[in-house]
């Protein structure tokens, strides 16, 4: 007699169905997603990760650029494929050297931000 059978007797003699084991990757993935949602709302973290980027159509905006990974973009080396909040389209995005931008371009970039999600 297995342990599950013995436990099942407590509910009128009906054998309990065996519980499926939780996948091992579920807890780390859940914690990583929770951190990706919570961390950007902490001001110093947001300031550290906020990066000016330009999409393939030339739009400037800021995004959270976290080198190890992202839940909102597909990475291709130094580029990413993600949603552009300015043109409302999907595009390849690259980081921009802010020293090469005019004050107007920099102000324009900081007017637009994509999702607050790493
Ligand atoms: Zn764009």
- pLDDT tens digits for 30-46? 888 888 888 888 888 88
- Tens of pLDDT along 61-92? 999 998 877 888 898 889 999 999 999 999 99
What pTM, to 2 d.p., does this model score? 0.70
Ligand 1 ion: nearby residues, β-carbon < 5 Å: 55, 57, 59, 84, 87, 91
Range of the domain at 99: 23-111
Question: What is the Å distance from ligand 1's center to 92 Cα?
Answer: 9
| Mean pLDDT calculated for residue range 39-63 | 91
Question: What is the Å distance from ligand 1's center to 84 Cα?
Answer: 5
Q: Which residues contact 35 (CB under 8 A, 6 or more apart)?
A: 118
Question: Given the DSSP bridges, would you call strands 50-55 and 60-64 parallel, antiparallel or unpaired?
Answer: antiparallel
Number of domains in the chain: 1
Question: What is the Å distance from ligand 1's center to 19 Cα?
Answer: 47
Instruction: Assess if residue 93 is contained within a domain.
Output: yes
| Mean pLDDT calculated for residue range 101-118 | 91
Instruction: Assess if residue 96 is contained within a domain.
Output: yes
Instruction: Assess if residue 3 is contained within a domain.
Output: no
For residue 19, is pLDDT > 50? Answer: yes
Instruction: Assess if residue 42 is contained within a domain.
Output: yes
């Amino acid at each position: 007699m297995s342990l599950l059978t013995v436990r099942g007797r407590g509910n009128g003699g009906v054998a309990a169905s065996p519980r499926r084991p939780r996948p091992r990757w579920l807890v780390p993935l859940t914690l990583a997603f929770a951190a990706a949602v919570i961390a950007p709302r902490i001001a110093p973290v947001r300031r550290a990760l906020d990066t000016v980027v330009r999409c393939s159509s030339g739009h400037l905006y800021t995004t959270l650029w976290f080198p190890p990974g992202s839940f909102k973009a597909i990475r291709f080396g130094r580029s990413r494929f993600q949603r552009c909040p300015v043109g409302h389209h999907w595009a390849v995005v690259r980081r921009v050297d802010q020293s090469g931008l005019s004050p107007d371009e920099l102000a324009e970039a900081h007017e637009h931000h994509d999702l607050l999600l790493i």
